[in-house]
Chain A
Amino acid sequence: MKIVVLVKQVPDSSLERHLSSDDFTVDRASASNVISEIDENAIEAALVLAEETGGEVTVLTVGPDHATESVRKALSMGPDKAVHVVDDAIHGSCAVTTSKILAGALGKQEYDIVLCGAESTDGGTQVMAQMLSQRLGIAALTGARKLTVDGGKITVERQTEDGYQVVSAAAPAIVSVWDSMNTPRYPSLKGIMAAKRKPVETLSLSDLDIDPATVGAGAATSTVVSAEPRPPRGAGQKITDEGSGGSSLAEFLASEKFV
């Protein structure tokens, strides 16, 4: 089984993140960049599937030069090879055009299943799997917390706000996963060493037959017109419980009309 995992490099969400002041794109230059957290669950799911089916795992990313670090990190977990779409014209692309680039890159790959995180930790839009499904005409099984493959039939337990759904489709399909699905493995030292020698193919827009004028900030279907830091949320009153902390809390809640 051939598996492609979509990986996005994002600014570390455990640190402060910013938009660039000039074009309101995500400031990656000053950030500590990492693999979007839930994508690591997608990599883990891909590796487990590959182990079960004797498959091959390819990492696919669209991003600037320094996304290579995340590609190597992903490879150190165990995938076989990687494809990195990099082109200056991509900077500032919206989700709609990013899906066009990813669909173009997937068009050059052989795959039975495409795996990705259900959302990225920066954009958090949850739209990419369905956008790719729409573009490629393949099934999208989204929000998986459990994934099973039986022959050509893919079944997913899809986490919903109200509970869950069991949904199924025939391959090829794109499956987006939540972090509740598994615990990503840590790269071993052997894995880190091996990752350095794994093939990483670099593709430009022309390799994908995509006109640079149709992507990037200039062609974005949505734009940010202003960005302001949220006014800092100052700490309020803080008391130490010396026997009547609960009563004081009740008094506060009453004064704020919550009781």
Chain B
Amino acid sequence: MAEVFVVATGANKLTYEMLTLARGLGEVSAVVLGAPGTAASIADNLAEYGAAKIYAAEDEALDKYLVAPKADALAALVTAKSPAAVLVPSTQEGKEIAGRVAVALDNGVLTDVTGLEADGTATQEIFAGATVVKSKVAKGIPLVTVKPNSVTPEPAPATATIEAVEVSVADSSKLVTVEETVVEPKGDRPDLTEANIVVSGGRGVGSAEQFSVIEEFADLLGAAVGASRAATDSGFYPHKFQVGQTGTTVSPQLYVAAGISGAIQHRAGMQTSKTIVAVNKDEGAPIFEIADYGVVGDLFTVLPQAGEEIRKRRG
């Protein structure tokens, strides 16, 4: 059976999703691009989700310089092993790596893919999720970036062997130096792109201080906190939590939009959520057009009351 590459970025949900998706296409091989030791540290996790082989493309240069060396290493490995397809995470870095590999190998690339069939037909949702397209790579092998929350990760324990891959980085790929990497503390909340439930606040929250009402409700549901662009632009919440066309796209089981009118910019980032709940004072807010359950009312009374009731139900 043909080999299928999954670029694994760690022991995270998106990696497990890709490993699950790849099983339908062939023999799954994980590709780890990073500093020495990275592959060994996650090998058990990758094997649990079906990776029969793990290619360890490891070199200090891969973390020292931005993106380009990782793309070099992946392109070289693809050339050497001729896999049937390559799956890359649809993160900022993943898309950038895929873009470089596409140019290096003169191979088509499809980004933000939500499904991939054995014949290479990919599903994408474009125009803010309004249109569902089926696409194919017409030149080369299917090289796709997989959008988070597209599949349910299912374990399929395998025995993985690690194969070290020699990495050679061209000087032209060492042009950008990473001087500092800052991981901003997330706290205990789940990651926005991976959360099953997201509670977002908009302009209607009114101030940064009052965003605590959103956070409290999110914590009660074990949810991630999001914000509309109007809220982040107003400084109510940090920009990196913005859900929308120019922010993060989320597709959770439940999306709660509080004080969000539902401009197309915002809908672009959340309308593929399974269930949508909206709370807004304005009964004409467009968010109600796509909400499975809408409450016309003041979020500062509705959310605390709902929270109280949920606590009661839990006893």
Mark A residues whose CB is within 8 Å of B: 13-19, 24, 37-38, 94-96, 99, 121-122, 124-131, 133-135, 137-143, 145, 155, 158-170, 173, 178-180, 220-230, 233, 235-241, 244-254, 256, 258-259
What's the Cα separation between A165 and B240 when bound, in Å?
Answer: 13
CB-CB < 8 A to A122: which residues of B? 126-127
Contact of B268 among A13, A160, A254 (CB under 8 A): A13
Residues of chain B within 8 A (CB-CB) of A220 are 108, 138-139
List the A side residues contacting B176 at CB < 8 Å: 139-141, 167-169, 173
Say whether chain A's binding surface is mostly helix, strand, loop, or mixed: mixed
B98 touches A127 (CB 8 A): yes
Which residues of chain B have C-beta atoms less than 8 A from A259's C-beta?
A: 221, 310, 313-314
Inside 8 A of B180's CB, which chain A residues have their CB? 165-166
Report yes or no: B99 in contact with A221, Cβ–Cβ below 8 A.
no
Q: Are B246 and A126 in contact (CB under 8 A)?
A: no
In the assembled complex, which residues on chain B have CB atoms less than 8 Å from the CB atom of A227? 131-134
Given the interface pairs A222-B138, A224-B133, A233-B290, the reply to whether A38 lies near B265 with Cβ below 8 Å is: no
Query: For the complex, is B209 an interface residue (Cβ under 8 Å from A)?
Result: no
Cα separation A133 to B69 with both chains bound (whole Å): 12
Please give, as numbers and ranges, the residues of chain B lying within 8 Å of A229 by CB-CB distance.
Answer: 130-132
Question: Which single residue of chain B is at the shortest CB-CB distance from A176?
Answer: B96
- B177 and A237 within 8 A (CB): no
- Report whether B92 and A161 are in contact in the complex, using a CB–CB cutoff of 8 Å: yes
Q: Chain B interface: which size bin? A: 35 or more
Q: Are B103 and A134 in contact (CB under 8 A)?
A: yes
Bound-complex Cα distance A13 to B193 (A): 22
Question: What A residues does B107 contact at CB under 8 A?
Answer: 96, 221
Q: Which 6 A-B pairs have the closest CB atoms?
A: A246-B305, A241-B297, A127-B99, A221-B108, A250-B309, A163-B184
B133 touches A238 (CB 8 A): no
Shortest CB-to-CB span from B76 to chain A, Å, is 14
The residue in chain A whose Cβ has the minimal distance to the Cβ of B144 is: A222
15 A-B pairs whose Cβ atoms sit less than 8 Å apart in the complex: A17-B130, A37-B246, A122-B127, A134-B100, A221-B106, A221-B137, A221-B140, A222-B109, A225-B136, A235-B289, A238-B288, A244-B305, A253-B306, A256-B275, A258-B254
Q: B200 interface residue, CB < 8 Å from A?
A: no
Asked if B96 and A126 make an inter-chain contact with CB atoms under 8 angstroms apart, the answer reads yes
B96 contacts A142, CB within 8 Å?
A: yes
Residues of chain A contacted by B292 (CB below 8 angstroms): 236-237
Q: Is the CB of A135 within 8 A of B99?
A: no
Tell me whether A221 and B102 are in contact (CB under 8 A): yes
B174-214: contact bitstring with A at CB < 8 Å (1 yes, 0 no)?
01111111111010000001000100000000000000000
> Tally of A-B residue pairs with Cβ under 8 A?
289
Across the interface, which residues of B come within 8 angstroms of A121, CB to CB? 245-246
Docked-complex contact B306 and A137, CB < 8 angstroms: no
- B36 in the interface (beta carbon within 8 A): no
Instruction: Assess whether B163 is interfacial by the CB under 8 Å rule.
Output: no
Sample of 14 further A-B pairs with CB below 8 A, known A134-B103, A167-B176, A247-B305: A16-B130, A95-B102, A96-B139, A99-B103, A125-B109, A127-B99, A127-B109, A221-B140, A222-B137, A233-B271, A236-B294, A241-B301, A246-B295, A250-B309
- A127-B95, A142-B67, A222-B135 as given contacts; A96 in contact with B102, CB under 8 Å: yes
Is B231 close to A, CB under 8 A? Answer: no
Q: Give the residue among B91, B93, B140, B184 with the most A Cβ atoms within 10 A.
A: B93
